[in-house]
Amino acid sequence: MVNKIVIIGAGVVGAASALALQKDGHDVTLIDREAPCSGASFGNAGAIINGSCTPTAMPGVFFDAIKMLSQANSPLSISLSYFHKIMPWLMRFIWQSRSSAAYQNATHLHAISQYAVASWRELTEHSELASLFRETGWLKVYQSEKSFASSTRHSIELFDKMATKYEILNASQIRDLEPNLAPIFNYGIYQKDSLSIVDPQRLVQGMVDLFVNRGGCYKTFSVDTISISNEQVQMSSSDGTLSADQVVIATGAWSRTLAKQLGDNIPLETERGYHLMLPQSTSSLLNRPVVNGENNFVLSPMSAGLRMTSQVEFAGLEAPPNYNKIRKLLPLVEQMLPNIDTREESTWLGFRPSLPDSLPVIGFATRTKRVLYAFGHQHLGMTLGAITGLIITDMLNNKVPRVPIHPYRPNRFNIL
Return the number of other C-beta atoms located less than 10 Å from residue 2's C-beta. 8
Residues facing 286 on adjacent strands? none
Q: What confidence tens digit (pLDDT) does each residue in 387-411 have?
A: 999 999 999 999 999 999 999 999 9
At 3 the pLDDT is: 81
Q: Which of 216, 164, 166 is nearest to 190 (CA)?
A: 166
At 2 the pLDDT is: 65
Percentage of the residues of the chain whose pLDDT score is greater than 70: 99
Domains contained in the chain, CATH given: 1-47+113-131+196-265+355-416 (3.50.50.60)
Q: For residue 110, what are the contacts with CB-CB under 8 A and spacing of at least 6?
A: 51, 52, 53, 158, 162, 164
At 65 the pLDDT is: 86
Q: What confidence tens digit (pLDDT) does each residue in 300-351 have?
A: 999 999 999 999 999 999 999 999 999 999 999 999 999 899 999 999 999 9
Q: Which residues of 18-28 are buried (b: 16+ CB within 10 A; e: fewer)?
A: bbbbbbeebbb
Percentage of the residues of the chain whose pLDDT score is greater than 90: 93
Q: For residue 213, what are the contacts with CB-CB under 8 A and spacing of at least 6?
A: none
- List the helix and strand counts (H, then E) for the chain: 12, 21
- CA–CA separation, 357 and 360 (whole Å): 9
Q: What confidence tens digit (pLDDT) does each residue in 356-392 have?
A: 999 999 999 999 999 999 999 999 999 999 999 999 9
Angle subtended by helix axes 12-23 and 381-396, to nearest 10: 40
For residues 75-79, give the mean pLDDT.
91
Return the number of other C-beta atoms located less than 10 Å from residue 317's C-beta. 10
Taking a C-beta distance cutoff of 8 angstroms, is the pair 348, 310 a contact?
A: no
- CA–CA separation, 337 and 281 (whole Å): 13
Q: What confidence tens digit (pLDDT) does each residue in 177-232 have?
A: 999 999 999 999 999 999 999 999 999 999 999 999 999 999 999 999 999 998 99
Three-state SS string over 83-95 comes to HHHHHHHHHHHHH
Q: For residue 43, what are the contacts with CB-CB under 8 A and spacing of at least 6?
A: 200, 273, 274, 275, 307, 309, 348, 349, 350
- CA–CA separation, 42 and 45 (whole Å): 9
Q: What confidence tens digit (pLDDT) does each residue in 103-139 have?
A: 999 999 999 999 999 999 999 999 999 999 999 999 9
- Mean pLDDT for the chain overall: 95
At 416 the pLDDT is: 46
At 63 the pLDDT is: 86
Q: What is the torsion angle, in degrees rounded to the nearest 10, for the CA atoms of residue 320, residue 325, residue 330 and residue 332?
A: -150
